[in-house]
Amino acid sequence: MTSEKQVGRLAFRVEGNKWACYYAMADTMEGAIWMGSVMMGIVQDRERKEMFMNLMRSALKDFLEERIGGKVSSWDEQPAPESERSGSA
């Protein structure tokens, strides 16, 4: 029997002329950890946007695996809560 535990999420947010990524708990941005950001003009290209998202996923996976001492096997990606949506990026 495998025990699954939700350990947080990636939150992408438009902040001025940048697209920022944070590691946050499932239902709040309180205490979120900034992971990185990129100029919005760079991620207007769909392929580069996916590359940035994949980089952040990979970095978070490594970080979590080191912290929990185990494998992160899957992502349960869900849309951001309505209060966090900007309509862009």
**Using one digit for the tens of pLDDT, what is the confidence trace for 43-67?**
999 999 999 999 999 999 888 888 8
In the predicted model, what is the mean pLDDT of residues 15-29?
A: 92
Residue 36 forms part of a structural domain? yes
Residue 64 forms part of a structural domain? yes
Range of the domain at 48: 9-69
Residue 4 forms part of a structural domain? no
> Nearest-CA neighbor of 21 among 64, 80, 67?
80
Total number of domains in the chain: 1
The strand ranges marked E within the chain are: 9-15, 18-24, 33-39
How much is the pLDDT for 76? 61
How much is the mean pLDDT over the chain? 83
pTM of this structure: 0.74
